[in-house]
Amino acid sequence: MNQLFGEGAGKAAVTECDVLVVGGSLVGLSMATLLGTHGISALVVEKHQGTAIHPRAGHFHLRTIEAFYSAGLEPVVRAESERQFDPDGGINAVESLAGKEIASYIGNLNEGVERFSPTKRLFMTQQSLEPILRDGAQARGAGLNFATELLSFEQDATGVTARVRHVNSGETATIRAKYMIAADGNRSPIREALGIAMHGHGLLSNSITIYFRADCGPWLANRNLGVIYVLNPDLRGFFRLVRDGSSGFLVVNTVGDVSKPEATNVAEGITVERCVEIVRSAIGVPDLPIEIEDIATWEAVADVAERYRAGRVFLMGDAAHVVPPTGGFGGNTGVQDAHNMAWKLAMVLKGKAGPALLDTYDQERRPVGELTIEQAYTRYVRRIAPELGMDDIQPLVDELSMEIGYRYQSPAIIAGEDALNSVWENPATARGRPGSRAPHVPLVRDGKTISTLDLCARNFALLAGPEGGAWCEAARQAAARLGVTLEAAQLDRSGPVADPQGAFAEAFGIGPAGAALLRPDGFVAWRAKDAAGASGEAVTQLLATALCRDAVAAVSEPAAA
């Protein structure tokens, strides 16, 4: 599919759009889908001929699935996942698949998560997820252009002018966008052109991923295995296998004696024959028939960009942060970048927010990116390469806190006395603190069970306790004054949006007359523990602050940002 070139494509000298997304893989397609959910039709260019042809990312975190949930894609994503994999697999380490088990990092991927989220973690191949995102983006108005590469770009005070080329025909076209998203991968030509440096731990290994077919079923039976780390004298890496064990991939980060420099240079001179030996060692059956389908070489790196924004260009996904696969943070963090940014761009483009709201993308997401590369590195050292040394690694942050406990600090968050100088907090203790992801509380509307997160999936929401009617009325007045769509709900045990268990106030750390303002990405912008100060003027100022705009004057799409 291609809207810029080929039969039926327009022949305009310049194609105009609000947002140009460069990169049509997991993160770029997620961004286009989420923008479409907020009413903005993105234009996507991707140099490859179509979506992913390899499994690649496999472990999707709670917050990522919540992003898909907010866009209405979670049911189809989950159905496809369960067709391929056990939904509740664990993460462990073995000497080999048929041999001794060394450690269990996570016994059951979804044990206890229903307390914290309306969704569950899942395993899924990127090659099966990306078509769902492609279709979702297109259904929400995105223009998708595969086999199209970015040649160059320039930006000025009002937008970005990009030159692109169809890789098959050689035809070129010009695109004029108000903003551009660089989702163009870890080597990001856009990042390089902008002169944005990376910092972190750098190159860890020249790794490979071996895609293979083999009958591993006998060693999966009656075992709750999802991600399987392999640590033996021949290799260190990890497996992902399909449900019946007939195929999968093996990531290999080191081979042989790790005291030698060549141990981390796995990719150099790799052959099919050597891959067969490595896979057999990982399975633990020397004569098992192995069919090698493909071999991908790549670099395990732990780096983050020094800034995520340059004028009207924003870095996202691997262009902004490159992490080793330990912990599964790479693609997940990129989708969460998109979830943070999509509603902000939409609000600014629609004239509902001030241009400074876009600055909060870097302010909020880059600290999370820095935390993520350090935590991925900690897991890499602990699970793959202890010889790198334990002295300089960050203490391990638990998976739940990494997935839904990271926190935002920016001018769009009104923390007040609830301010916390930390990038993360355990969700069990955060309890609706401004800057944290809103707690999941089961509610009932129109006879159906929903989550607090459903109420802010598209727009702002002000949720008040059973005695917080004054806040709801004030919020309606504020929304009308600012021209912003907002859902105001007084949560008692039997109202239009009911809290049948009476759990909302406690979950959000407020009293019965308190309230919380939730952003369209599900994060808490502000909360009040009681009804003191509940007025239309007060909430107007709060909502304007969360939108980085003046509380009186209307805003429009800025001439410069």
pLDDT in tens, 405-438: 999 999 999 998 888 889 999 999 999 999 999 9
- What pLDDT sits at residue 123? 86
pLDDT at 324: 93
Q: Please, how many CA atoms are within 13 Å of residue 4, restricted to the half-sphere of its CB?
A: 34
User: d(Cα 208, Cα 237) in Å, to the nearest integer?
Assistant: 9
Predicted pLDDT of residue 555:
64
Report the SS3 class of residue 462: strand
Task: Tell me the pLDDT tens digit for each residue of 156-185.
Answer: 999 999 999 999 999 999 999 999 999 999
Residues 6+ apart with CB under 8 A from 22: 28, 45, 150, 162, 180, 181, 182, 183, 184, 190
- Do residues 173 and 9 touch, judged by C-beta distance below 8 A? no
Say yes or no to pLDDT of 319 above 60: yes
- Tell me the pLDDT band of 7, cut-offs 50, 70 and 90: low
H/E segment holding residue 177: strand 172-182
CA 324 → CA 32, 86, 195, 343, 368, distances in Å? 25, 24, 23, 29, 16
φ, ψ of residue 341 in degrees (nearest 5): -90, -30
Mean pLDDT, rounded, of the chain: 93
As given in the structure block, the two tokens for residue 538 are 């007060």
Task: Dig out the tokens for 499 from the structure.
Answer: 């809290």
pLDDT of residue 554: 60
- Mean pLDDT, residues 490-509: 96
Percentage of the residues of the chain whose pLDDT score is greater than 70: 96
Taking each continuous run of H as one helix and of E as one strand, the counts in the chain are: 13, 25
Q: How confident is the model at residue 552 (pLDDT cuts 50, 70, 90)?
A: confident
225-231 and 90-94: which strand pairing? parallel
Report the alpha-carbon distance of residue 217 to residue 97 in Å, rounded: 10
- What's the CA gap between 187 and 320, in Å, rounded? 10
Q: Return the structure tokens found at 288.
A: 């098992």
Residue 149, beta-bridge partner list: 165
Confidence band for 83, pLDDT divided at 50, 70 and 90:
confident
pLDDT category, 559, cuts 50, 70, 90? Answer: very low
pLDDT in tens, 20-59: 999 999 999 999 999 999 999 999 999 999 998 776 667 8
Going from the N-terminus, what domains does the chain have, and what CATH number goes with each?
15-84+124-197+306-353 (3.50.50.60), 201-301 (3.30.9.10), 406-546 (3.40.30.120)
Q: Considering only the C-alpha atoms of the chain, give the largest distance between any 2 of them, rounded to a whole number of Å.
A: 75
The tens digit of pLDDT for each residue in 335-352 reads: 999 999 999 999 999 999
Whether the Cβ atoms of residue 250 and residue 282 lie closer than 8 Å to each other: yes
Distances (CA, A) of 174 to 41, 165, 349: 18, 9, 21
91, 107 Cβ separation under 8 angstroms: no
Q: How confident is the model at residue 89 (pLDDT cuts 50, 70, 90)?
A: confident
- Exposure of 26 by Cβ count < 10 A (0-12 exposed, 13-18 middle, 19+ buried)? buried
Each residue's pLDDT tens digit, 177-209: 999 999 999 999 999 999 999 999 999 999 999
Which amino acid type is present at position 316? M
pLDDT for 561: 38
Segment 287-317, tens digit of pLDDT? 999 999 999 999 999 999 999 999 999 999 9
Residue 553 is predicted with a pLDDT of: 60
Q: Is residue 527 a contact partner of residue 510, using CB atoms and an 8 Å limit?
A: yes
**Nearest CA to 177 among 15, 17, 358, 350?**
17
pLDDT of amino acid 539: 97
Instruction: Render 202-262 in DSSP notation, one character per residue.
Output: EEEEEEEEEEEE---GGGTTT--EEEEEEESSSEEEEEEE-TTSSEEEEEEEEES-TTSGG
Query: Where is 474: in which H helix or E strand?
Result: helix 469-482
* Whether the Cβ atoms of residue 258 and residue 241 lie closer than 8 Å to each other: no
Could you read off the pLDDT of 203-237 as tens digits, one per residue? 999 999 999 999 999 998 878 778 899 999 999 99
Which are the catalytic amino acids? 229
Please report, for residues 43, 103, 135, 169, 486, the alpha-carbon distance to residue 143 in angstroms, rounded to integers and kept in the order given: 5, 46, 11, 19, 29
Q: In 3-state terms, what secondary structure has residue 379?
A: helix
The answer to whether the CB of 313 falls within 8 A of the CB of 190 is: yes
Compute φ and ψ for 130, nearest 5 degrees.
Answer: -60, -40
Q: Which long-range contacts (CB under 8 A, 24 or more apart) does 79-82 make?
A: 80/124, 80/128, 80/129, 80/132, 81/122, 81/123, 81/124, 82/122
SS (H, E, C) 110-176: CCCHHHCCCCCCEECCHHHHHHHHHHHHHHCCCEEECCEEEEEEEECCCCEEEEEEECCCCCEEEEE
> Is residue 495 left, alpha or beta, with left meaning phi > 0 and alpha meaning psi from -120 to 50?
beta
- The Cα–Cα gap between 463 and 490 comes to 6
Kind of pairing between the strands at 198-213 and 247-255: antiparallel
- Whether 94 shows a pLDDT value over 50: the answer reads yes
As a whole number of angstroms, the distance between CA 234 and CA 109 comes to: 28
263 within 8 A of 194, measured Cβ to Cβ: no
The pLDDT of residue 47: 96
3-state helix, strand, coil in the chain (%, to 5): 30, 25, 40
